Amino acid sequence: MKRNAVWVFGAVTAVLLAGCGGPGGSGGGSDELVVSGFSFGAEEFEKTVVAPFEEETGIRVTFDPGSNSDRYNRLLVDRARPDVDVVLISDLFAADGEREGLFTDIDPGSVPNRADTVEFARDAPGQGIPYTFTLPGVLYSTDAFPDGPPTVASLWDPELAGRIAVPDISATAGIPFLIAVAETFGSGPQDVDTAFAKLAELKPNVLQFYSSTTELLSLLERGEVVAAPGLDLFAYDAVEAGRPVAWAPFDRGRVLSYNKAEIVEGAANTDGAQRFVNYLLSPEVQTRTATAFSDKPVNRAATVPPIMTEVSGGAATDPGAAGYVPLDLDFVGANRGAWIDRFAREVSG
């Protein structure tokens, strides 16, 4: 199974496992299930997760692709008669859905594998359960930085004029970088006014504001940029291929992003949905998904491929011990729309 480094998050799209069973949340007995997840890498997900689940349980699943936002909007439109049982979705969309009442509580007794997950996944607030995460930090050229990675503050060095890339705030690494800048130059992670002012000052150093993994890696590998805030998994294939690219955590302001498994309010097969979530959290499945498409596991008993620890270090298996904390989703959710407008007006425009 070929690993796909863009499975994340960040960018983040849908696998819809379509099934029968009418709406109404009866919860029991159905041998069909609908799961909405991530479409980039859908074929790998089907082979690695769905097919073994079908074989083990006898529950039949199918799926269709779609983006995070499209899937979320569909849930809003179909909330009176949902045709989805489980949603695999990014943390920000999960928080929005929980506030909207789109999801329901998961019975702790039906998901015993959660007890074996790392702290942030075990104790995450809300209704759903995190099942994988990604780490924002800085990607850099080892030719340009032979003595170690750049710090957040060093990205403002005049010697880097026109030589860095910065994630658009709508990209997965965008808000974590904003928070890292607030932590570095301001009074704390919520001092976004200082962060926006500093990002405006960074513009002479920015060759490109990127939203695509492909364009970022191309810029790094061609040497057009030498550093860029970005996700750790962007570096896996490049490092494995021996290219002069590395990744390091931010020296200040380490926040992680994660994907969450949610059960839809009014789902036709809540019993099967909870069984699927528990299966997704098992060490065997978490090991397979780490190998197949670089989903970092939350189950402490899972095994990760060597490239994951080579690039991400101990944070690949224990992000909390490496200083990472989850995003403050209430704070971000309340301000994200205004930040997107402000970024376009004050920073990238």
Instruction: Yes or no: say if 194 and 185 are a contact pair by the CB < 8 Å rule.
Output: yes
Percent share of the chain, pLDDT over 70: 91
Q: What does the angle CA 230 – CA 75 – CA 18 come to, to the nearest 5 degrees?
A: 95
23 — pLDDT class (breaks 50, 70, 90): very low
Q: What is the model's pLDDT at position 1?
A: 39
Q: Which residue has the higher pLDDT, 213 or 89?
A: 89
Instruction: Yes or no: say if 326 and 91 are a contact pair by the CB < 8 Å rule.
Output: yes
Q: What is the model's pLDDT at position 179?
A: 98
Neighbours of 25 (CB within 10 A): 15
Provide the Cα torsion 119, 123, 126, 129; round to 10°.
50
Average pLDDT over residues 118-141: 97
Residue type, 195: A
Q: What is the model's pLDDT at position 256?
A: 97
Judge whether residue 291 has pLDDT over 80: yes
Q: What is the model's pLDDT at position 65?
A: 66
- Of 8-12, 106-110, 182-186, 230-234, the poorest mean pLDDT is in 8-12
Judge whether residue 317 has pLDDT over 90: yes
143 — pLDDT class (breaks 50, 70, 90): very high
Q: What is the model's pLDDT at position 2?
A: 39
The radius of gyration computed from the CA coordinates of the chain, to the nearest angstrom, equals 20
- pLDDT per residue over 196-223, tens digit each? 999 999 999 999 999 988 889 889 989 9
- The average confidence (pLDDT) of the chain is 91
64 — pLDDT class (breaks 50, 70, 90): low
6 — pLDDT class (breaks 50, 70, 90): very low
Judge whether residue 338 has pLDDT over 70: yes
Which domains are present in the chain?
Answer: 13-134+257-316 (3.40.190.10), 136-253+326-348 (3.40.190.10)
264 — pLDDT class (breaks 50, 70, 90): very high
Judge whether residue 274 has pLDDT over 80: yes
**What DSSP string runs through 242-269?**
T-SEEEEE-SS--EEEEEEEEEETT-S-
Judge whether residue 263 has pLDDT over 80: yes
Of residues 252, 160, 211, 227, the one with CA closest to residue 348: 211
- Of 62-76, 94-108, 193-207, the poorest mean pLDDT is in 62-76
